[in-house]
Amino acid sequence: MAHFVSLALLLSALSVSALPAPVCTDFVLPVTASANNIDLSSGDPTTNVTIPVSGTFGIELKFCEPTTVVASRAGTLQVLVHGASYDTSYWDFEAFQPDNYSYVRFAAAQGYPTLNMARLGSGLSDHPDPLQVVQFGLQIAIEEQILRLARAGSITALGRAFTDIILVGHSFGSSVTNGVIAQAPELVDAAILTGYSHFPVPASVFTVGGVLPASQVDPVRFGGLAPDYLTTHNASSRAAVLYGPVGTFDPSVLAADEATKDLLTTGEEFTFERFAVSAPGFTGDVAAFIGEKDPSFCDPSVDCQNIATEGQFYPNAKSFEFQIFPNTGHCLNLQLDAPQVFASIQSWLDRHGH
């Protein structure tokens, strides 16, 4: 276990040069998957009764080629999974200063192809039953299928097979990542978990965040959706749970984020902690990145040092390292120190040969 930070690296990241936009292909891929979801029809989120769910679901994917050729990374694919109330824009934030806030552009400049996905129920992906279908069991199963297809070279838009898969998650997306490496560890070579830990998320997070039926919050965008499709109430409630203190983020970023926010579901809200499990079968590298002011996954009684104990959940990992970003909120990619976050991720990848 290691806690890593390079002062020189962080200082250099403060000056971000213009990053070229990569050539990307947006498409919706039919993905066939099945899972045993939790039967929430009774209204009891603590029930252990399961219900089989299966089908073919359209999943929005955005594949971007690197803007810098690095021969050793030609067979490496970073698969990016966003968190609650986001879509592919979380990892490729084009609405404001993408040179600072687009991880996709940053990764492309380092020579990585990326596959940025909108989870089921988000973005242009299908929006099935938000209570019984859009749960974490099925989200994990869908992700596993996408990784299998990418490894096999069976996703036409990618143009090739990939032998080194780096699964990168944020928040709910990190929960999906954790579930994948617990259930199908052979599919992933390295896991990057941002804005996530096994610390129980306080119920107050959803209250403070003003999580409401999306059809009520924004009838123009979400008016046709069932009430169990949810989103945050407004920019203020969004800032309270996703951002750090005033002065640690650009208000223009929050405004753009509010204008493009997406969804989560009641089914996800009630099932994601069921997959906060250990992954003893995973033997690849694991890194955890979190903001010190993260109200969801930091234990405030120990100043977020709970992240230092996350290695216990990956007992056979090749390595486990973590980094806590001071005075930084939950959505690392949208804080002022996003360039430092990106540079720290790259430093970790370099050290571990990915």
Is the predicted pLDDT of residue 140 greater than 60, yes or no? yes
How many residues are present in the chain? Answer: 354
Type and span of the H or E element at 300:
none
HSE-CB for 198 with a 13 A CA cutoff: 15
Q: Is residue 13 predicted with pLDDT exceeding 50?
A: no
CATH number given to 2-31+59-351? 3.40.50.1820
Residue 6 has pLDDT above 60, yes or no: no
**Residue 3 pLDDT > 80, yes or no?**
no
Looking at residue 192, its pLDDT comes to 98
Residues 6+ apart with CB under 8 A from 311: 1, 286, 317, 320, 322
CA distances from 300 to 17, 91, 278, 304 (A): 35, 27, 23, 6
Taking only the tens place, the pLDDT of each residue in 178-230 is 999 999 999 999 999 999 999 988 777 777 668 999 999 999 999 999 999 99
Closest CA to 285 of 165, 111, 146, 163: 165
Enter the pTM of the model.
0.94
Q: What is the mean pLDDT of residues 48-71?
A: 97
Of 94, 166, 85, which is closest to residue 119 (Cα–Cα)? 85
> Cα–Cα distance between 100 and 106 in angstroms, integer?
9
To the nearest whole percent, how much of the chain has pLDDT over 90?
91
Instruction: Please answer whether residues 33 and 23 qualify as being in contact, where contact means their C-beta atoms are separated by less than 8 angstroms.
Output: no
Q: pLDDT tens, 86-125? A: 999 999 999 999 999 999 999 999 999 999 999 999 999 9
Neighbouring C-alpha atoms within 13 Å toward the C-beta of 64 = 28
Confidence of residue 2 (pLDDT cuts 50, 70, 90): low
What mean pLDDT value characterizes the chain? 94
Instruction: Flag whether pLDDT at 54 surpasses 80.
Output: yes
pLDDT at 318 over 90: yes
High-pLDDT (> 70) share of the chain, %: 94
Per-domain residue ranges of the chain: 2-31+59-351
- How many angstroms separate the CA atoms of 122 and 60, rounded? 9
pLDDT at 210: 81
Adjacency order of strands within the sheet including 264-265? 212-213, 229-231, 264-265
- Position 1 pLDDT exceeds 70: no
pLDDT of residue 320: 98
How many other CB atoms sit within 10 Å of the CB of residue 280? Answer: 13
